Amino acid sequence: MGRMLTALALIDIDAGTVTSTHLESAQFPVEDLAIHRGEGIFETVLVSVDAETGAPRVHSEGPHFTRFEQSAAMLDLPAPPRELFEEAVAAVITAVIGSADLSTARGPVTEFSVRYAMSRGLDAHADPTAHRAAGVPHGARGWAFPIGVTDGQRAQRTDGVRVVTLNRGYDAYVGESAPWLLIGAKTLSYAVNQAAARHAVAQGADEALFVSDDGIVLEGPTSNLVIQRGDTLLTPDPRAGLLHGTTQRAVFTGAEAAGLAVAYADLTIDDVLEADAAWLVSSVRTAVPVLEVDGKTLPHDPASTSRLHGWIRAA
C-alpha cells in the first residue's frame, strides 16, 4: 500500500501542537517510558473509504476515545486532549486519502486502520533541559499512524478461526480488589498478549481465548468473545477481567435494533461449546467466526456473520 503507511502525526501535549511527518523520519527518545516500561495507552480505529466519493468514515470513533480517556485515568496519566488526538487522526487520514498511491494490485484501498497512542513521557532520570533544547517534550506525548488491513485479516472475517483456550493466570473479578493490575485498561504493555497469540499458533490454532483460573471465559489477546444462544447474544462481563470492547458494543447495539436480546454474563467453556455460534470481534478484523475451540467444532452460519459485519460497519 505504498507510502500511505508512512504517514505520522506527532502530538506535543504540553505545547498543544500536532506535527505531520513520516514514520521514516521519526525519532523516539529511548528514555521514554513507553519503550522500556510500557507506560502508555493506545486505541486502533477502523477507517472505511467510500468507493465512489473517497470520503473516510472512522468507526466507533467516540467509544474508542472514551475508552482511551478511561485507560489514561486508570494509569494516572494526564487526560488526553481530545481535540489534539482528533486533529492527529484526521491528519493521518488526510495523508492516506491524499496519497497518489492509494491502491494495490487488488484495486482501490477501501479500508485501513489508524492507531493513536499516548506515553507518560520521559523517565525521571532524563535531563529535561537537554531534551527541550533538542525540541523533545519531557512530559506526556502522543502520536498516530495508519496501518493497512492484511489479506489474512480480511480472510478471517469469513473463513473463521480455530481457537485454543489458555489460562489467564488469575481468578475472574480480581481487578475489583487489585486495581493496580490495570485490567480493563488498553495499555502499551502487550507482551503477554503477543506471547499468548504465538503460543496458540504453536499449538496448531489460529487464535487464543483466555480463561480465568476459576473457569470463566474472558477474551482473546486482541478481541472480545460474543456467542449466540437462540435469540440472545452474550459476551463475558468486562468486570470479570477483560477489556470492554468497542466493537462488541457496536454488535450489541445492532442486535438490539434487530430485535435480539443481549446480555453480559459469566460464561464457561461449555457455554461456548454449546452455543449456536461464536465470534471474536475487534476493530480491524470486525467479526471473525469461531469454528473450533480446543479441537471441538462449533456451528457457523455465514448469514449471521454477515449481519454482525453490517452492525459493526454501521457504528
180 and 305 fall within a common domain: yes
The whole-number pLDDT of residue 57 equals 96
137 and 164 fall within a common domain: no
Closest CA to 163 of 225, 242, 215: 225
Asked if residues 141 and 12 have their Cβ atoms less than 8 Å apart, the reply is yes
Asked if residues 57 and 143 have their Cβ atoms less than 8 Å apart, the reply is no
Among 133, 149, 165, identify where a domain stops: 149
List helix spans (H) across the chain: 33-36, 61-74, 82-97, 128-133, 151-159, 191-202, 246-257, 269-273, 302-314
Asked if residues 159 and 288 have their Cβ atoms less than 8 Å apart, the reply is no
Inform me whether the pLDDT recorded for 134 exceeds 80: no
241 and 169 fall within a common domain: yes
69 and 164 fall within a common domain: no
Q: How far apart are CA 59 and CA 145, in angstroms?
A: 16
Q: How far apart are CA 160 and CA 292, in angstroms?
A: 9
213 and 308 fall within a common domain: yes
185 and 91 fall within a common domain: no
Sign of CA dihedral 283, 287, 291, 292: positive
For the entire predicted model, the pTM comes to: 0.92
pLDDT digits (tens, 9 = 90+) for 54-88: 899 999 999 999 999 999 999 999 999 999 999 99
* Structural domains counted in the chain: 2
pLDDT digits (tens, 9 = 90+) for 184-238: 999 999 999 999 999 999 999 999 999 999 999 999 999 999 999 999 999 999 9
CATH number at residue 169: 3.20.10.10
74 and 160 fall within a common domain: no
137 and 16 fall within a common domain: yes
Give buried/exposed letters for 70-95 (b at 16+ CB in 10 A, else e).
ebbebbebeebeeebbbbbbbbbbeb
CATH number at residue 117: 3.30.470.10
pLDDT digits (tens, 9 = 90+) for 250-278: 999 999 999 999 999 999 999 999 999 99
139 and 11 fall within a common domain: yes
User: Residue 28: which domain range?
Assistant: 2-149
